[in-house]
Chains A and B, each alone.
Chain A
Amino acid sequence: MQRRLTMKKDDWLKEKLVERFDAFDSGLDLDQAWQELEERRNPKQKRRGFIYWILGIGFLGGLMFTFWNKDNSAASLSETIQVVEENREDLEFTNQKEILLIENTKEETVVVDESTERKNRIILKTQTQNTIGTQKKQNLELANTNLNERFSYLLNDINTGSIAATLNMTEANATTAKAKAEKEDIIIAETFAERNSVFQEKKIPIVIGNLGIQKVESLVFSGDKKENLVPPAIVRPLKISAGHSFGFNFAYGKHKRTMLAIGEDVTELIANRNLQESPLDAIELNIFYRKRMPWTSYLEFGIGFMQTSYLFEDQTQTVSYNLLEDQITEVHNFPDGTQENILGSIFEKETVTRDSKFYQNFRQLHLNTSLGKEIGINESTGLLFSAGLEYSLFSQIEGVSFANSEILSYGSLDKLGYKSEGVFAGLLGLGVYGRIGSANKIELSLAAKQSLNNYSKNTGFSESRSHVFAKLSFVRSIN
């Protein structure tokens, strides 16, 4: 009688292992483990992140406050102008001056009403003394030369009858325009930026005043009182050289990760990934405060947000392995008629094709500080250089694998396990700036950022990030 060949499964190990571990006591202190779990689930623990925020913002605020209140011996001339304005409160105003309508050679006399608000009155005043010394009395008259959208004002020296200064105004409403002019016949130093040497330098008389028309509340201008009228642009350095300014910038660029294996099992993967990874977009938004320092340099403190993303695609790889396979090599017949399969090993060749995609999003909030230097090309443009340090406060890293839908939710981002708070990065910037108006500045620069310590401290690998940005900044002086 022919016996059927029966296949015995080689699963004794599986059964024994399951049986053993089913009754295994790991010796874990469950009470303590429960307490630790409760601590982890306690929301109070999660507030730790906010402490970093508060500390960071407090630090930034403290620095700003300190610099704001610091008595700087190299204060700019704008402070001098403020002194003059304060003195104005003690002066008397005369409302009997004429506004001359020059257009079409038709003359008209308007007397500003007494009840008009002070800021809309024509102001004549005599400056007898101020901090930088002044001494000449002069009467000025404001004249409206055009009732269209653009206004030209003439400042006439009443005593001599000559034009002392002229100024073009825009954005004014012709029908409601009421002008204010202040005349300060003061003497200041020839060199604007050298306040300390004001009293030693050769002095020339100039006119400084304020002109306000509804939408444009105040505009500082200056001119040579004698013959050559200086265009308002010359006043700009007074404002731009203000001690404090705020601004914001937007940057767009590329980033690159470099990963080094420090754990096991990932060396090959990471080396492969560094080759495969293509640099993708990085955007950054910062707001900052600047404090002017000596020698046209500045110190900047900012807080910003950055997002980077990359899509990693493995090359389709075809790898051949020699695999050991269990095979029945012999059938043993026992005297009682039973049979047992004897397993042996043979090599089998297998070819595997691997193809995967991985997408990662990285968001970060950071503090930064930098030291900058401006080199003027002319009065309104120049070059700037900066270098600084950045510190990451908070970060969130999300990823999705399109190849392993069972592990990460398919098609949706999933937070990744590693954190990157506390990473320092070096900053470098090189660019140009241009002044717009008396208090605004626009900057366009090329910026680079390089992490200085490990971005993935909780993982088995070391990661550094490099960024290159094109950065557009807006800066506004606040005094």
Chain B
Amino acid sequence: MDTRDLVKYCIQGNKEAENRLFMRYGNKVYTICLRYVRQKPDAKDLMQECFISLFKNLSKYDAEKGAFEGWMYRVCTNVVLKKIRKKKNSISFVFPDILPEISEKLLKEDFDEISTEVLLKTIQELPEGYRQIINLHIFEGLKHTEIANCLGISASTSRSQYGRAKKLLKAGLENQIAKKINNEERRLA
């Protein structure tokens, strides 16, 4: 059954269709949530809220305007951001004083050595504001003007903080690679 039919049945209140839609996209939605919050139970809770919102607003989805997946990502991102904003009424950017030198070339070469789990962990460990900017710009594909609206900051701040966020992420990834190399060396020794 294609997604369009699935959505149609879901709107009619068909539980089986809802279950299938959940099974089809549950993993993707959970991954989105995992990128925004650090704890798995929080991510699970957010995922449930995303699906509750999705099922509630399915009738608003217009297949002619675009693919379901894109619309779903947008709804989920809004739910996640809304939740985060409700808890904290401002976003903060804490940048460390000292950042290690990053070898762009080395990182590019070794990137494939890093598992997705470690990537996820590195993103989760970013300070709140940087994590959100990375998620919104890289994964959700929002422009800096849109991010500015979402986070209540100026577009120029979003742009400049994105640069810093990337630096922090790269530094974190390099750190992970260094750890991995150390571990391997210890194992060989």
The answer to whether A407 and B26 touch across the interface, beta carbons within 8 angstroms, is no
Alpha-carbon separation in the docked complex, A28 to B31 (Å) = 9
State in angstroms the CA–CA spacing of A266 and B23 once bound together. Answer: 36
Interchain CA distance A137-B166 in the complex, whole Å: 105
Could you tell me the distance in whole angstroms from the C-beta of B78 to the nearest C-beta in chain A?
8
Which residues of B sit under 8 angstroms from A345, Cβ to Cβ?
Answer: 167
Q: Which residue of the partner chain, among A265, A323, A401, contacts B92 with CB atoms under 8 Å? A: A265
Chain B contacts with A in 158-185, Cβ cutoff 8 A: 160-161, 163-164, 166-167, 169-170
Instruction: Give Cα A321–Cα B88 distance, bound, in whole angstroms.
Output: 22
By the criterion CB–CB under 8 Å, are A417 and B83 in contact? yes
Q: B-facing mask of A29-59, CB < 8 A → 1, else 0?
A: 0100110110011000000000000000000
Interface size class of B (residues with CB under 8 A): 35 or more
Given contacts A33-B26, A352-B154, contact A269 B31 (CB under 8 A): no
- Asked if B12 is at the interface (CB within 8 A of a chain A CB), the reply is no
Q: Does B57 contact A (CB under 8 A)?
A: no
Contacts of A199 in B (CB 8 A): none
A-side contacts of B87, CB under 8 Å:
417-418, 459-460
List residues 12-38 of chain A with CB under 8 A from any CB of chain B.
Answer: 12-14, 16-18, 20-21, 24-26, 28, 30, 33-34, 36-37
Which residue of A13, A37, A325 is within 8 Å of B169 (Cβ)? A13
- In the assembled complex, A75 has its CB within 8 A of some CB on chain B: no
Query: Does B4 count as interface, using CB distance less than 8 angstroms?
Result: no
What residues of chain A lie closer than 8 Å to B91, measured between beta carbons? 265
CA–CA, A18 and B140, complex, Å: 9
B92 engages A13 (CB within 8 Å): no
Min CB gap B57→A, angstroms: 14
Taking the complex as formed, is A117 at the interface, i.e. its CB lies under 8 A from any CB of chain B?
A: no
Within A291-338, which residues are at the interface with B (CB < 8 Å)?
321, 323-326
Residue in B34, B48, B156, B170 with the greatest tally of chain A CB atoms within 10 Å: B48
- Chain A residues with CB below 8 A from B14, complex form: none
Chain B CB within 10 Å, residue with most, of A17, A399, A408, A460? A17
User: B163 contacts A13, CB within 8 Å?
Assistant: no
CA of A30 to CA of B137 in the docked complex: distance in angstroms?
28
List the A residue with the shortest CB-CB distance to B19: A34
Q: Is there contact, CB below 8 Å, between A17 and B138?
A: yes
Q: A37-B51, A265-B128 are in contact. Are A16 and B111 (CB under 8 A)?
A: yes
**Residues of A close to B31: CB separation below 8 A:** 21, 24, 26
Residue of A nearest to B94 (CB): A265
| Smallest Cβ-Cβ distance to A41: which chain B residue | B52
Whole-angstrom CA separation of A401 from B83 in the bound complex: 14
A17 touches B139 (CB 8 A): yes
Per-residue contact bits, chain B 98-118, to A (CB 8 Å; 1 contact, 0 not): 000000100010010000100
Say if the beta carbon of B71 comes within 8 Å of chain A.
no
Which residues of A are found within 8 Å of B166, using beta-carbon distances? 13
Query: Which of A16, A323, A405 has the most C-beta atoms of chain B within 10 angstroms of its own C-beta?
Result: A323
Contact A350:B160 (CB < 8 A) given known A30-B22, A460-B87: yes
**How far apart are the CA atoms of A25 and B163 in the complex, in Å?**
28
Quick one: given A37-B52, A350-B160, are A460 and B88 in contact (CB under 8 Å)?
yes
Per CB-CB distance, the 4 closest pairs between chain A and chain B, nearest first, are: A404-B152, A417-B86, A406-B149, A323-B160
Query: Can you list 20 pairs linking A and B with CB atoms under 8 Å apart?
Result: A10-B104, A12-B108, A13-B111, A17-B138, A17-B139, A21-B119, A24-B116, A33-B48, A37-B22, A37-B51, A263-B88, A264-B128, A266-B88, A269-B90, A323-B161, A348-B160, A401-B152, A406-B146, A407-B150, A459-B87
Known: A404-B149, A404-B152, A408-B82. 12 other contacts (CB 8 A): A25-B27, A26-B30, A34-B19, A34-B22, A36-B48, A41-B52, A265-B92, A268-B92, A325-B160, A326-B163, A407-B150, A418-B87
